[in-house]
Amino acid sequence: MMIKDEAFPVEPWQVRETELHHDLLPQSESLFALSNGHIGLRGNLDEGEPYGLPGTYLNGFYEIRPLPYAEAGFGYPEDGQSIVNVTNGKIIRLLVDDEPFDTRYGQLLSHERILDMRAGVLRRCAEWKSPAGKHIRLNTVRMVSLAQRGLAAIEYEVEAVDDPVRVTLQSELVANEDQPSPSDDPRVAAVLVNPLAPVMHEVSENGALLVHRTRSSGLMMAAAMDHVVEAPGRLDLSGDAGEDWARTTVVCGLEPGQRLRVVKYLAYGWSSLRSRPALRDQAAAAIASARYTGWQGLLDEQRRYLDDFWDCADVEVEGDADCQQAVRFGLFHVMQASARAERRAIPSKGLTGSGYDGHSFWDTEGFVLPVLTYTAPAAAADALRWRSSTLEMAQARAEELDLHGACFPWRTIRGQECSAYWPAGTAGFHVNADIAMAFERYRVVTGDHSLEAECGLAVLVNTARMWHSLGHRDRYGRWRIDGVTGPDEYTAVVRDNVFTNLMAAANLRAAAEACRRNPDAAGELGVGLEEIATWCDTADAVHIPYDEELGVHPQCDGFTTLREWDFDDNTRYPLLLHEPYVRLYPAQVVKQADLVLAMQLQSHAFTAEQKARNVDYYERRTTRDSSLSACTQAVMCADVGHLELAHDYTYEAALIDLRDLHRNTADGLHLASLAGSWTALVAGFGGLRDDDGVLALDPHLPSGISRLRFRLRWREFRVTVDTDHDCVTYTLRDGPRSRLLIRHAGEQLELSTDEPTRVPVRPRVPLLPPPQQPPGREPLGRQRDRGGD
């Protein structure tokens, strides 16, 4: 079911659901997911059911499952990794005079849920009449603490309204929950049945503890709960537990107007190494710390963390309330996915659902980290440290593939390659350059060279070696890379994908420069002057195909002479669910921005006219069957002056989940697209580029946005960019030096901490009229919402 606007009114700092639609539960559970990057709780109802997909996740906690092949091949991964739905501690069941509170029965007088993006909590208010007519009011607040990594907490209040009632509250821990059966969509996760083997269970005075272990991956986890109960009169508190469940029961009587209030502290820990007692103590310590902080203390910490985040991340969008709300929603979830991930991966769906098995892809370095690098650089650094911690696995994979250096996985949780379809997995070698260049971007943007010394250099060197062994010189001396798949998965295993070739060359150059900056460390990695020179020569010789007749870059060698896709007959999207690869691959049909992404990330390699012609060419052939496309199209359409079209794409990228535009928000949020909403606004309408090592900006707004204000961290500075249709005001904060040289609209501009700098907007004049998209693939949603303007 499509999400209609009425269900979630547009409000700047919160996402509010005004009434409960049971058929939207799968989506709302994703939208209302809370996470700190370590613990993830889907927005399941407190009482546990009905549900779309019950979900409680610990970052990096996975089970191994065999990957079957009807026809296997050498180097195919044999083991997959799937995120585990761990012990659910969100459940608080309520009985009103022995009738269970269940929104499907009795009478739900009102129901509202609010995701508060400044407070970092999910609030719920409900009024309900039981089938027997007993009227209660419910207020709950749920949080996953950003300050205390192993902790979540729930405040649960129930109030008798008209009559005296006896309420029974069962607060639970439940392991090995039933899961709904899987769909046929290959993008959905495998279902693990009973993944958790019980290790121990323990009931304490006010709570309980369960410890479980995965059967194949051998990871151990502990979940503990503890309760603070306030009741007006007599109270009965008891506990009980079994292998896969624990329960704390509270019983009391309430007169009209009286309330029962329970604060539930929920602690999680897991480890592949630590012992059962160590894990048990870790959970107990988290509980103790939470009790010490107290509920209000947790709320305060949460608010402080978010105030600090928003101070340098917020984007203000005047004139477009949808995008205003959506970009904050996107930033909020990007923050949630990364804040306390601390050397664990940032999965493509964060910890909001089990889609794609909880794997991380190039989405992390390609789409999420660019945003974090400018807004929360410490989180970006931690994510990069996670990647570098998998370097040995990547080196082993490279050796298996008969390549030098390191070959990072296309999809993984722990670090091993888990892609079972190599043409859109292993062949996507560009992930290696995406990773390497994320280190380089971090260094350029933050000015922090310590990460490079700590681990970035080894990643740059190993990826450079991989590229050098993968490509080859043809008889004309051109350096070519064959048999790779670029970002566009509808044309795979190709020659000289422009995106890949440009990124590989950049990777080689960045590695060479990093070695020159760190000659001793480079020496320890066995890199000599000769190898550095070879990388530079190779990068200089890179072959970038160009179609002189059409004046466009073919996405890969020969692309512009492939068969055109028959858009008259074959327009059931996404095409991958209706057309075989054998037909998609050799046609000029593009799943997602590829050459267009190359123009964003390697902007300097294209002239303005090339950009305009390329955008025009690929717009007509791109179906956006991937969620990694709209934000890039927004950026490059803005770049070449199609500002209204860019605005439409911004809307699609930003509203992807709030409007369930891809119809799979139920499986988890599209983190890359949510991050991309920031990119669409900041790189699209703000004109941010950094591929020349300089902070380059060039704001120009579409008609529907009257003012755009965003913040960036650049080296020691915080920069605020505030633009309307005529003028841009740059404000510089912090920094030991008082001046910063940036590029504005292609010209050097000096900013100072003394006072804001105000300059006129340079209008972008399009070379070509706005292009058409394939039939049925105009940007999703905004036209309708705009009433066709």
- Applying CB under 8 A, the residues found at the interface with its own copies are 67-76, 80, 184, 186, 400-403, 419-423, 425-427, 472, 474-475, 480, 482-484, 492-493, 495, 549, 557-558, 561-564, 569-570, 576-583, 585-587
41: exposed, middle or buried (C-beta count within 10 Å: 0-12, 13-18, 19+)? buried
Judge contact between 21 and 634, C-beta under 8 A: no
Judge contact between 576 and 515, C-beta under 8 A: no
**Alpha carbon distance 254, 24 (integer Å):** 33
275: exposed, middle or buried (C-beta count within 10 Å: 0-12, 13-18, 19+)? exposed
**Alpha carbon distance 452, 518 (integer Å):** 9
Q: How far is the CB of 352 from its own copies (least distance, A)?
A: 22
Q: Which residues contact 155 (CB under 8 A, 6 or more apart)?
A: 139, 140, 141, 142, 261, 262, 263, 264, 295
Judge contact between 256 and 171, C-beta under 8 A: no
**Given the complex with its own copies, which of 75 and 760 has the nearer CB atom?**
75
Provide φ and ψ at 399, rounded to 5°. Answer: -65, -40
**Alpha carbon distance 722, 697 (integer Å):** 11
**Given the complex with its own copies, which of 45 and 481 has the nearer CB atom?**
481
Q: How far is the CB of 583 from its own copies (least distance, A)?
A: 6
Q: List, as one string, the DSSP characters of 134-189.
A: -EEEEEEEEEE-SSSTTEEEEEEEEEE-SS-EEEEEEEEEE-S---PPP-S-TTSP
Q: How far is the CB of 195 from its own copies (least distance, A)?
A: 18
Exactly one of 29, 155, 417, 489 is catalytic; which is it? 489
Block residue for tokens 């940036």: 742
Q: How far is the CB of 32 from its own copies (least distance, A)?
A: 30
What radius of gyration do the chain's Cα atoms show?
Answer: 27
Q: How far is the CB of 27 from its own copies (least distance, A)?
A: 25
298: exposed, middle or buried (C-beta count within 10 Å: 0-12, 13-18, 19+)? buried
**Alpha carbon distance 591, 626 (integer Å):** 6
Q: How far is the CB of 357 from its own copies (least distance, A)?
A: 10
**Side-chain half-sphere CA neighbours of 84 within 13 A:** 28
**Given the complex with its own copies, which of 193 and 273 has the nearer CB atom?**
193
**Given the complex with its own copies, which of 188 and 506 has the nearer CB atom?**
188
Q: How far is the CB of 79 from its own copies (least distance, A)?
A: 10
- Structure-token pair, residue 113: 């849920």
**Given the complex with its own copies, which of 530 and 569 has the nearer CB atom?**
569
Q: How many CB atoms are closer than 10 A to CB 731? A: 18
Q: How far is the CB of 67 from its own copies (least distance, A)?
A: 4
**Given the complex with its own copies, which of 82 and 731 has the nearer CB atom?**
82
**Given the complex with its own copies, which of 238 and 561 has the nearer CB atom?**
561
Q: How far is the CB of 776 from its own copies (least distance, A)?
A: 17
**Given the complex with its own copies, which of 176 and 348 has the nearer CB atom?**
348
DSSP label at residue 424: G
Q: Distances in Å between the alpha carbon of 365 and those of 32, 444, 614?
A: 25, 15, 24
**Given the complex with its own copies, which of 566 and 750 has the nearer CB atom?**
566
Rounded to an integer, what is the distance from CA 581 to the centroid of its chain?
Answer: 27
Using a CB cutoff of 8 Å and minimum separation of 24, what contacts does 571-578 make?
Answer: 571/774, 571/775, 571/776, 571/777, 573/623, 573/625, 573/776, 573/777, 574/623, 574/625, 575/490, 575/623, 575/625, 576/489, 576/490, 576/625, 577/185
**Given the complex with its own copies, which of 69 and 105 has the nearer CB atom?**
69
Judge contact between 273 and 175, C-beta under 8 A: no
Q: How far is the CB of 582 from its own copies (least distance, A)?
A: 5
In single-letter form, the type of residue at position 54 comes to: P
Whether 155 is catalytic: no
- Hey, which residues are catalytic here? 489
